[in-house]
Amino acid sequence: MLRALSLLTLSLTAVLSTAGCAADADTSSNDPARSDDAFTSSVPGDKRDPAAARGDRVGATVEVHGRKIALHLSDPDNMAWASIDNGDPDDETWIDRSFDGGLGWGDGSKLGETKIPSGRRGWRTLMFNLDQPDKRRVGAVRACGKANNRVEIACTPWLRTTVNAGNPLDAAATALMQLYDHGDGLWHNSGWWNSANALTALIDYSQATGSQTYRYAIARTFDENKRHNVVETDFINDFLDDTAWWGLAWLRAFDLTRDGRYLDMARKDADHLWKFRDDVCGGGVWWKDDKKYKNAITNELFIKLSAGIHNRLPGDTVYLARAEETWRWFKASGMINGQRMINDGLDNCRNNNQETWTYNQGVILGGLVELNRATGQAAYLDEARALADASTANPRLNPGGILKEPCEDSADACGGDGPSFKGIYMRNLGELDRALPGRPYRAYLERQAEALRTRNRTVMDQYGLRWAGPVDRVDAHRQQSALDALTAAR
């Protein structure tokens, strides 16, 4: 439930900015502020006395008609309360709690609402939990208040404790999970294929850090979405690239969990794509099941998925043969242009010179890494390096050295798809970087991560579209992209 309030914010000690965030610590997975049991373990109930708090960090303050409203956070308890000072009797304060990153708060409004009692100038609420482990809900809170008989309400920014958010990488993952809907196993306001990428980003984060905190989302997403309306869909729909994104997510899930059902699902998805391979334009897989367009991303994904399955399936020859055939066709298709940038697809079996989206420059890198792993042939890594050198040095994609999607200057800010692209690029460039001696792209990866942390981050470690800043708005697509980038830079 989204609600609108007229908020008077006369003074803030914490604002939506890229400086002064609580999560500026080293990104080590051993950070004591992150507890892998903190979210999944039981927690004490709401409405505890703040006198029992094991910590008291004032996260933000705001003033209204001279009254000071403060948000208090107890990091050891993962709880918060509000206080009001310099007030009069009957002035009010309360806590709002959100389980979608501050986009709405519904039944979490005016928790602990209290008034300054007679004879006092200040008061405070009881304490409230940030998270609801039994419902797998990841929370954020703010303190609000108003002067007696006044209309204006003032609220601090949304914040959370440092639990599972003690450094930028953990905090980015937690901010992504604030947007996860445990009911349907997908991310709020996120497209179908974007949720596959959000899950992949979460799995890669878990693999890189060893965190167990949010791994429950893997099985939940699988179980809730492999069937639709009682029909076994196996994550297949009419857009074949969507099917491939999910196949890659389940391949990652298999790597992390070693649960064979995820590898089986990846195989089903790859087998479905192969049904749409034919000799039109000499080969390749169609973008959609209506067989009207052959494009770069679908075939790049198929190469990576098929080669990846081969590398995880002892004795396989079928999936490797499919991947190698598709790569040979893709390389000769003309979609890789004279600048070694990859255009969107083919019209009349020729490069259509459509946009060079960043994810088209990225996914093929991961595919070539998988082919090198499968065959031991250095030529695949040589091809990947040539493509990566071209994209990392391209001035249009990297103005001022910071990655930028070509659509970012448009009025619609890349719509619902574009915000996912740069993270996908970083994910795959990171795979190539780790496969090469000396990690030649590490400085590039770290530069992007540093720009995100210092120019494009809110106080709750949410990220916007433009990595060079400032934050435009937050959603699961943007957050997935940032998490991918931060993980790749480790």
Per-residue tens of pLDDT for the chain, all 490 residues: 333 333 333 333 333 333 334 344 333 333 434 444 445 555 678 999 999 999 999 999 999 999 999 999 999 999 999 999 999 999 999 999 999 999 999 888 999 999 999 999 999 999 999 999 989 999 999 999 999 989 999 999 999 999 999 999 999 999 999 999 999 999 998 899 999 999 999 999 999 999 999 999 999 999 999 986 656 699 999 999 999 999 999 999 999 999 999 999 999 999 999 999 999 999 999 999 999 999 999 999 999 999 999 999 999 999 999 999 999 999 999 999 999 999 999 999 999 999 999 999 999 999 999 999 999 999 999 999 999 999 999 999 999 999 999 999 886 879 999 999 999 999 999 999 999 999 999 999 999 999 999 999 999 999 999 999 999 999 999 999 999 999 999 9
Count CB-CB contacts under 10 A for residue 143.
30
Residue spans per domain, the chain: 1-163, 168-488
Question: Tokens 């303190």 appear where?
Answer: 143
CATH value of 168-488 in 1.20.140.10, 1.50.10.20, 3.40.50.360, 1.10.579.10: 1.50.10.20
For residues 352-374, one letter each, b for 16 or more C-beta atoms within 10 angstroms of the residue's C-beta and e for the rest, the string is: eeeebbbbbbbbbbbbbbbbbeb
The pLDDT value recorded for residue 402 is 98
Q: Which two tokens stand for residue 435?
A: 């496969």
Please check whether residue 404 is in contact with residue 398, taking contact to mean a CB–CB distance below 8 angstroms.
yes
Q: Which two tokens stand for residue 43?
A: 């927690």
The pLDDT value recorded for residue 13 is 36
The pLDDT value recorded for residue 229 is 60
- pTM value is 0.91
Give the CA-trace dihedral at 34, 37, 38, 41, to 10 degrees.
180
The pLDDT value recorded for residue 413 is 77
